[in-house]
Amino acid sequence: MHNLQVLAGIAFNPGIRGILVVAVGVGVLMGSVYLLLATNVGARLGLLLTFTGLFGWLTILTLIWWITPPAIGPRGNNASWKPVEIYTNSSGTPKTVQVGGLVDPSALPSADAILADNPELAADFPNGFVLSDLKASHPDVVSQYIHSENMHGWSLVAASAAGEAQAAADVALVNAGIFTGPTAYKKLNTWEYGGKPKREDECSDTDMVCRAVYRVKIAVTFKHPTHYTVVQVQKVVTQEAKPGAPPPLPKVDTSAPVYSVVLVRDLGYVRLIPFLYFLISVSLFIIFAWTLHNREKVLMKNKALADAAKGA
C-alpha cells in the first residue's frame, strides 16, 4: 500500500514524470541500439560504437539548432529594447549624449497646425494623430515638417513599427513609478538613432545596383552600431466615463511635461546556447571516434605481429 502511494505521488509530479519519460526514452532508444551492438561486437566495443553514433547524430542536430535556433528548445535570449534612462523634456537633461541632438517636442508642429495645412487628414484620423501616426501612411506630409539635415542623425519611427519599443517603454514608466499604468498617459512620437542603415534610406526601389551593393555591405558589416530609440509620452486628462457610453478618448494634458524613455537595442544571444551544445557534441564525437581509430590501429598492429609470428 505504501508503494502505491509513492507511485501515485510520482505520477502527479510533472518534474519527476518528465525525468522518468526522458530516462525511459533514453533506455529504450539508446539501450536497444547498444543491446544489438553488444550482442554482435561485445559489450565494450558496442558501448563505444553507441556513443560515437549518438554524438555524431547530436553534432548534426545541434548544428541545425545553431543555424536555425528552435522555437522551443535550447536557445538564448531574443533581441529586445532595454531602458537606459527616463528624463523630462521641459526640465531634465538626458545623460545619453546622442539624445542631446533630438528635437524638442515643443518645437514640432501641433496636430491642429498640420490639420490646418492638410484638411484631408481629418477623414483618415478622426481621433487625432501625431507625426509617428503619419509616418507610414502619409510620409509626404511628414517630410514637410521634418527635414533629415536638421535631425542630427535621428529619424521618426512610424507608430505601426514602434510596438516593441513602446511596450518596453510602458514597462519602464510603470516600474519607475512615474505612471500607474499605460492608460495614464498617451504615446507621442517615437524616434530612433544609429543601428545598421536601412535599405530604404540608402537606395530607392528602382536602383538595383545600389540595392545589390547594400546587400553586400550589410553582409560584411559584422559590428552592429548602437541602436537607440526614444519613446515620448505625456500625461492625459482624467475623464469620467458615462454609464452606458464607450470609454472617452484620451486627451493630452498640454500643461504636463513630456517624458522621454531612452532605450538601447540589446541584440541578445539566440545562437549562443545552441553553439555550446554543438561544441560539446562535436568534441565528444571526436573523442570517441579518435578512440575507435586508436583501437583499430592497435588491433591491426597486433594482427600484423601475430601473422609475423605464424610465418616464423
pLDDT at 174: 93
Write down how long the chain is: 312
- The set of residues, in sequence order, having a beta carbon less than 8 Å from that of 64 and lying 6+ positions away, is none
pLDDT at 259: 93
The DSSP-derived string for 257-292 is PEEEEEEEEE---TTHHHHHHHHHHHHHHHHHHHHH
pLDDT at 6: 61
pLDDT at 9: 56
> Which string of b and e fits 120-140 if b means at least 16 CB within 10 Å?
ebeeebeeebbbbbbbeebee
pLDDT tens digits for the chain (312 residues)? 566 666 555 555 666 777 888 888 888 888 888 888 889 988 899 999 999 999 999 999 999 999 998 888 888 888 999 999 999 887 777 888 888 888 888 888 888 888 888 888 888 888 888 889 898 888 888 888 888 778 888 999 998 899 999 999 999 999 999 999 888 999 999 999 988 777 777 777 777 888 888 888 877 777 788 999 999 999 998 888 788 778 778 888 888 899 999 999 998 889 999 999 999 999 999 999 999 999 999 889 888 888 888 876
How far apart, in whole angstroms, are the C-alpha atoms of residue 293 and residue 306? 20
Total-model pTM:
0.74
How far apart, in whole angstroms, are the C-alpha atoms of residue 63 and residue 151? 44
How far apart, in whole angstroms, are the C-alpha atoms of residue 151 and residue 154? 5
Hunting for cell 560504437 — which residue is that?
A: 49
pLDDT at 100: 85
What one-letter code names the amino acid at 141? Answer: V
pLDDT at 5: 61
| Residues 75 and 278 sit within 8 Å (Cβ to Cβ) | no
